[in-house]
Amino acid sequence: MENQGDVNIPSFGGPWTGQKLEILRRYLDAYTTALKCQPFQLTYVDAFAGTGSYTSAVDAYEEFYELRSGSTRIALDIDDKPFDKLTLIEKDVRRVRDLRELKKEYPGRDIRIVESDANWEIPSFCNNMSGLDRAVVFLDPYATQVSWATIEAIADAGKIDCWILFPLMAVTRMMPTENEPDETLANQLDRVFGGREHWRQSYTYSHQLSIWRDEPRRKRAPGSEQIASRYRDRLNTVFSSVAGTRRTLRNSKNAPLFELFFAATNPTGVDIADYILKHW
């Protein structure tokens, strides 16, 4: 829910929201069941936690809405083998208030609510993991908030399975096809990809004849598929396993909005994620 004064206004989720959350739910269920008899302490980390719920249209005309479970409530409701701990990171103070209300519904559960920036909090979470700690991290931003340094910290921990919602439409818009991005956009892309060379490979020289001279310009192929592939290649440089299957989440006009990736140290996690991504 989003609080505006005293009125609660739930966050809106499009059809893609239900898809990503169902994939997450199936994975969390399979993950906790698979590790049920192991001596690990299992933590679920929601780095962009939201409020615990979202509203979704229930008719084609988007006139009627219902309240559905968001990622934090889904993780809390995994019950075959519940998570031992949950860390919920949220930057927005009003949403943090909603998370505190959510926590009251689950007395006895070990829930840590952190009002902070995920890019600050995740590296410190990773540094503090000890021998038998294992975690699933869900990175579910609205746009380009996830810095590459955060992805590296997760990969370096060597004990984390990670779902990453990559903002494909936002990044595609930041990368014009006819020219390279300006310096402001280039700096943002550097932060997302962890270096200029990683996104700049999408641009190649193309000669444009003008009446004055033959001007070489750097262009990129239209569309977003190549950008999604570049990001997966990037994930492969830091994680030992990245799911071969990924899911493109599309808006109601069928345009690619996000790309859902799974990466981990543990190859079993990748097999489970691949299965879910292929069959659901």
Q: Which is nearer to ligand SAM, 20 or 134 (CB)?
A: 20
Q: Which is nearer to ligand SAM, 117 or 152 (CB)?
A: 117
Q: How far is the CB of 48 from ligand SAM (least distance, A)?
A: 3
Q: Which is nearer to ligand SAM, 95 or 220 (CB)?
A: 95
Q: How far is the CB of 192 from ligand SAM (least distance, A)?
A: 13
Instruction: Compute the radius of gyration of the chain from its Cα atoms.
Output: 20
Helix axes 118-127, 148-157, angle to 10 degrees: 20
The residues near 208 (Cβ < 8 Å, ≥ 6 apart) are 214, 215, 216, 217
Judged by DSSP in three states, 208 sits in: strand
Q: What is the largest CA-CA distance in the chain?
A: 75
**Count of helix runs (H) and strand runs (E) in the chain:** 10, 14
Q: How far is the CB of 131 from ligand SAM (least distance, A)?
A: 28
Q: Which is nearer to ligand SAM, 141 or 176 (CB)?
A: 141
- Tally of CA atoms within 13 A in the half-sphere of 16 that contains its CB: 18
Q: How far is the CB of 120 from ligand SAM (least distance, A)?
A: 8
Write down how long the chain is: 280
| DSSP letters spanning 46-61 | ETT---SEEEEE-STT
Rounded CA-CA distance 110/105 in Å is 12
Q: How far is the CB of 31 from ligand SAM (least distance, A)?
A: 17
Q: How far is the CB of 150 from ligand SAM (least distance, A)?
A: 9
Q: How far is the CB of 94 from ligand SAM (least distance, A)?
A: 9
Report H helices in the chain. 15-34, 71-76, 93-104, 118-127, 148-157, 168-174, 183-193, 196-200, 225-238, 267-279
Residue whose C-beta lies closest to ligand SAM: 70
- DSSP for residue 131: T
Rounded CA-CA distance 223/201 in Å is 15
Q: Which is nearer to ligand SAM, 203 or 258 (CB)?
A: 258
Question: What residue ranges bind ligand SAM (CB under 6 A)?
Answer: 21, 48, 50, 54, 70-71, 89-92, 95, 117-119, 140-142, 145
Q: Which is nearer to ligand SAM, 144 or 226 (CB)?
A: 144
